[in-house]
Structures are given as C-alpha cells and as structure tokens.
Amino acid sequence: MLRARLTLVTGEPVSDEQLMLSYRDGNAAAFDELYGRHRGGVFRYVLRQVGLRSAAEEVFQEIWTNIISSRARYRVEARFATFLYHVAHNCVIDHFRRKTPLHLISLDDDPEEAHQVAGPDRDQPERAVALRQSAAKLLNALALLPPEQREVFLLHEEGGLTLEEIAAVTGTGRETAKSRLRYALARLREGIEHEADVA
C-alpha cells in the first residue's frame, strides 16, 4: 500500500514512529498527520470484519481512543502500523465478544445490511455506478471468506503488513499467516473468475 509521507523542509519523509513520538511529546499536529495516513485503512479493516457501518464507526473510534490514551507509554518497539493494527485486532475481537452471537453475514441477512458490507457506500449511489464490476464481485467474495483468512488479507492489503507482522498481530506463526493469505487470495481470485464466468 502506497502511503503519502509527510515531507519536511529538508525533503526527508517523517516516519509514523517519529510522528507518534512527536505526538507523545505534545505535538498535536503530528497526530493529525498520523491519523490522516491510517484512517482509511483502519476503517476499512474494521468495516470488512464487523459488517455494519455503525458498528465499524464505534470500533474505529475505540481504536483511536486507545492510541491516544497510550501516548505517554508509547515506545518504538515495532513499526507503528503493527502497533496500530494490533490495537485494532483486539478491539474487533472485543466487539465480537460483546456482540455474541457473532453477526455473521449470510444470504438470509437483510439485503440492506449486506449491501453495506459488500457493496459501495449507499449514501453515494453515483459512485457505485462508477465502480468496476470486478471490484464489487471481489468485495462479495471477501465477505464470504472465513474470518481468519479475511483478516489476514485485510492486514496485508489495508495495513501493508508483512507476513511476520501479520503473524505478530494475530498471534500466530508466520507460516500460518502465509497459509491463510494464500487461501484467501485463491478464493478471492476464484470468486472473481466465477462471477466473470457466470456473467
């Protein structure tokens, strides 16, 4: 995932870790920059897993509240993205624990809700028209993935994490993360091709 880098006068990009350290030391502008870099990826990571937009917003706010609260204790022990998505992972798990039984997406669910998950933003119907057909199919296929495979794909795609970082966030081994990612990619590709064949 390409991510714009804040550039100082000297031309050197400021890393996420430096921004977080700067925010820890009292620079609120550093947080604005950091938040701007990760807000979309984290939100989509949450939305694809919890399903409902309202629930995703709630979890999203909880994630950033935790990041803000941990400001004073922050130390650079890993990439900031790893730290951020580790917090996000825990918040999603907490959400599912609070919301038991899990809100599983199936064909019997409310089509409006399913549309929220798999499709484009319903508040912007004009944009849905513009989206390519294959993207919508892929999102549908993503929604049908097992949760573990879906999470690994989202961490890789939205967070830009390596297999080692994904393993650290999810609490598994590197090979497990790799296996899950491979299965997820295979099933997503199959989903796209199957839809294309049907079409």
Query: Residues in the site for other proteins, rule: CB under 8 A?
Result: 23, 26-28, 31-32, 35, 39-40, 43-44, 47, 57, 60-61, 64-65, 68-69, 71-72, 120-121, 127, 131-132, 134-136, 138-139, 142, 156-158, 160, 162-163, 178, 181-182, 185-186, 188-189, 192
Nearer to other proteins, 10 or 69 (CB): 69
Instruction: Tell me the closest approach of the beta carbon of residue 175 to other proteins, in angstroms.
Output: 11
Contact between 80 and 34 (Cβ < 8 Å)? yes
Distance CA 134, CA 198 (A): 12
Distance CA 61, CA 66 (A): 9
Nearer to other proteins, 86 or 188 (CB): 188
Distance CA 55, CA 139 (A): 18
Instruction: Tell me the closest approach of the beta carbon of residue 180 to other proteins, in angstroms.
Output: 11
Instruction: Tell me the closest approach of the beta carbon of residue 9 to other proteins, in angstroms.
Output: 23
Q: Which two tokens stand for residue 162?
A: 């390596």
Nearer to other proteins, 9 or 198 (CB): 198
Instruction: Tell me the closest approach of the beta carbon of residue 199 to other proteins, in angstroms.
Output: 14
Contact between 145 and 153 (Cβ < 8 Å)? yes
Number of H helices, E strands in the chain: 10, 2
